[in-house]
Amino acid sequence: MLTRLSPAIRQYLVVTGNYWAFTLTDGALRMLVVLHFHGLGYAPLEIALLFLFYEIFGVITNLVGGWLGAHLGLNRTMNIGLGLQVVALAMLLVPTAWLTVPWVMAAQAVSGIAKDLNKMSAKSAIKMLVPEQAQGTLYKWVAILTGSKNALKGAGFFLGGVLLMALGFAGAVGAMAGALSLVWLLSLVLLKQDLGKAKHKPKFRDLFSKSRAINILSAARLFLFGARDVWFVVALPVFLSQTLGWDHGQTGGFLALWVMGYGAVQALAPRITGRAAGGVPDGRSATAWVAALTLLPALIALGLMGGLDPAWVLIGGLLLFGAVFAVNSSLHSYLIVNYAGHDGVSLDVGFYYMSNAMGRLVGTLLSGWVFQLAGQGSQGLQACLWISALFLLVTTVISLRLPRRGDH
């Protein structure tokens, strides 16, 4: 059956399969580390700091990884990412006494490099596999890849918890390392050689985009993801646990389901935004959707300030925020692939996802710092939500300068 498919479709399936396998292990590893170190007595903020290098190295990797992809080919950078994730998992197979904070942070740094090499390669590869005139197809393929990734990341949270209960920490990590090694070996054989390699080799100074549209979109992406993570990464799970009294199973399960639903909406974004009617999004679409999103964290904060039931305010607010944020993210993912140049596409995509990683890093650090500074509890979460609304307002203003259809 696969032999009847076009070469481009077969390569898309290989790229997507790689991305799916990696994403499952990435989500499961995060949950394994959180649950295992919580069991060892680490506080929530201490656990969050274990992922600090994961985010920092994501910024660096996206910037340098785009240059590597243009030089080496996207098949090689994707395979390097898969191989490094196996290394990161193997680093956690040492005896328990060796699992010190610096060692786990180092393993997370390797995993962060692996994740962003894999993501940059997957998103860039789609540009090479879709004809330039088929923008509707490009939007659909990007939405499916992005949405399925986040749905599987949520599934990975569940997988991590199940493996931890069934096999223990070392057994779970070993099982994932073995499975991902098989995927890596298959990828080495099946993924097309020289995919995405630039005809004209870019110089190192070309790391920074010279495209006005990409620079504007990258700035918008930084504030968009900072707005999500400033309340989602530390403040929200700690609030659910400490203030609402949810146990770790309830908190982890709810957030996992939220991520899976978020991914499902991303995959459906082309239908939601009107691709079925023949249109593809532009800067006007991105501005309208982020303007709508700006209202939501402010409304959640006002609901908490007004003394409404915090559980219902957060559950309802999170569902709405997740759905609208998912459409925003999917629009951005399409626009960057659309704006990127065909030769050396990974340079533009890498620069953009560097901004994405920077937004996550800023949001993560602010989430812990602001939540703690404002007194934790409801006041701490409200402070994080108001900063989220401010970041989204900045994103809206920046998005006003994105090209409209025909400008770019």
Please report the DSSP string for 175-222 in residue order.
HHHHHHHHHHHHHHHHSPTTTT--SSPPPGGGGS---HHHHHHHHHHH
SS3 408: coil
Domain total in the chain: 1
Structure letter (DSSP) for residue 340: S
CATH number at residue 133: 1.20.1250.20
Does residue 80 fall inside a structural domain? yes
C-alpha distances out from residue 202 to 72, 208, 215, Å: 11, 11, 18
Query: Which residue segment(s) compose the domain that 370 sits in?
Result: 2-193+207-399
Give the amino acid at 9.
Answer: I
Q: Which of 329, 266, 324 is nearest to 295 (CA)?
A: 324
Whole-model pTM over 0.85: no
pLDDT of residue 408: 45
Tracing tokens 């929200």 back to the chain, one arrives at 236
Does residue 62 fall inside a structural domain? yes
pLDDT at residue 65 greater than cutoff 80? no
Does residue 202 fall inside a structural domain? no
What percent of the chain lies above the pLDDT cut of 90?
A: 24
Contact (Cβ atoms closer than 8 angstroms) between residue 307 and residue 240: no
Does residue 408 fall inside a structural domain? no
Of residues 197 and 151, more confidently modeled: 151
Dihedral sign, CA of 364, 370, 375, 379?
A: negative
Please report the DSSP string for 306-326 in residue order.
TT--HHHHHHHHHHHHHHHHH
Does residue 25 fall inside a structural domain? yes
SS3 278: coil
Does residue 132 fall inside a structural domain? yes
Does residue 407 fall inside a structural domain? no
283 is written with which tokens? 């800067």
The rounded distance, in Å, linking the Cα atoms of 113 and 109 is: 6
Structure letter (DSSP) for residue 74: H
Tracing tokens 């680490």 back to the chain, one arrives at 42
Does residue 199 fall inside a structural domain? no
> pLDDT tens for residues 72-108?
777 788 888 889 999 999 999 988 888 888 888 889 8
Highest mean pLDDT among 228-242, 246-260, 266-280: 228-242
